[in-house]
Amino acid sequence: MSVKFHLVTLFPEFFESPMEVSLVGKAIDEGTIEIEFHNPRSHGAGVHRQVDDAPFGGGAGMVMAPGPLAETLDPLATTYRVLLTPSGAPLSQDHLDRFACIDELTLVCGRYEGIDQRIVDNFIDEEVSLGDFVLLGGEVAAAAIIEGVARLLPGVVGNPESTVNESFRGDGLLEEPHYTRPSEFRGWAVPEVLLSGDHKRIAAWRREQRLERTRKRRPDLIPE
Ligand code: ADE
């Protein structure tokens, strides 16, 4: 299983370090993921290779013009094309599970106030947002998707179980707190139950912790 990402971005250099370090770098080295950059600037208009223009109807900011984007996206028509935009559906683990099964995934990073709607209507399969806040562009969201997909692919994460028993999987609750040695650190003790060796009590404690955290922080995730 592997995924080829096509990144449509005006700022390919943004991805240099995040794609080199950690397990994402390893996944690229091992061919589990592949990344190809496509810069709409190379299809920009005039000597300045302009890619944006003022919005019809007036208003603040600039809009990414359809021409350079269409020319960038024409050869990517057979891939699954995702636009990163604050107007998209909020990114979830379900998206990542789905994207990890796609051979070629195109991530289109918007900039400026947005992109011409005719591009969205005719070239984009799905719109995704990183959350209910506005960034300068889609690059951070694209990097999040690449990392989230990479860790689901075979061989990227050492212990595959760690991608199964985690928040947003299994019982759908947030994860319980974790502790490791030493059992006392700067006077702060590890909860006694975790040292008891009583697996039934430990499992019950962990579930209670998951429920309590979820009730407090994400009541929307508690099953009816
Ligand atoms: N571009 C700007 N803000 C964004 C967001 N919240 N998610 C995805 N792309 C974006």
The model's pTM: 0.94
Assess whether 146 and 179 both reside in one domain: no
Assess whether 68 and 174 both reside in one domain: no
Assess whether 123 and 67 both reside in one domain: yes
- Cα 130 to averaged position of ligand 1 atoms, centre (Å): 6
Q: What is the number of structural domains in the chain?
A: 2
Assess whether 188 and 77 both reside in one domain: no
Query: Strands 184-185, 52-53: parallel, antiparallel or unpaired by DSSP?
Result: unpaired
Around ligand 1, the residues with Cβ closer than 6 Å are 84-86, 110, 129-131, 133-135, 137-138, 141
Residue 192 lies in a domain: yes
For residue 141, give the ligand 1 atom closest to its CA: 8
Assess whether 44 and 96 both reside in one domain: yes
Confidence of residue 165 (pLDDT cuts 50, 70, 90): low
Q: Is 135 exposed, middle or buried (0-12, 13-18, 19+ CB in 10 A)?
A: middle
Q: Which structural domain, as residue segments, surrounds residue 33?
A: 3-150
Torsion of CA 157, 159, 165, 167, to 10 degrees: -30
Residue type for position 53:
D
Assess whether 36 and 105 both reside in one domain: yes
Digit-coded pLDDT (tens) for 48-107: 999 999 999 999 999 999 999 999 999 999 999 999 999 999 999 999 999 999 999 999
- Cα 156 to averaged position of ligand 1 atoms, centre (Å): 27
Residue 163 lies in a domain: no
111 pLDDT above the threshold of 80: yes
- Phi-psi sector, 166: left (phi>0), alpha (psi -120 to 50), beta: beta
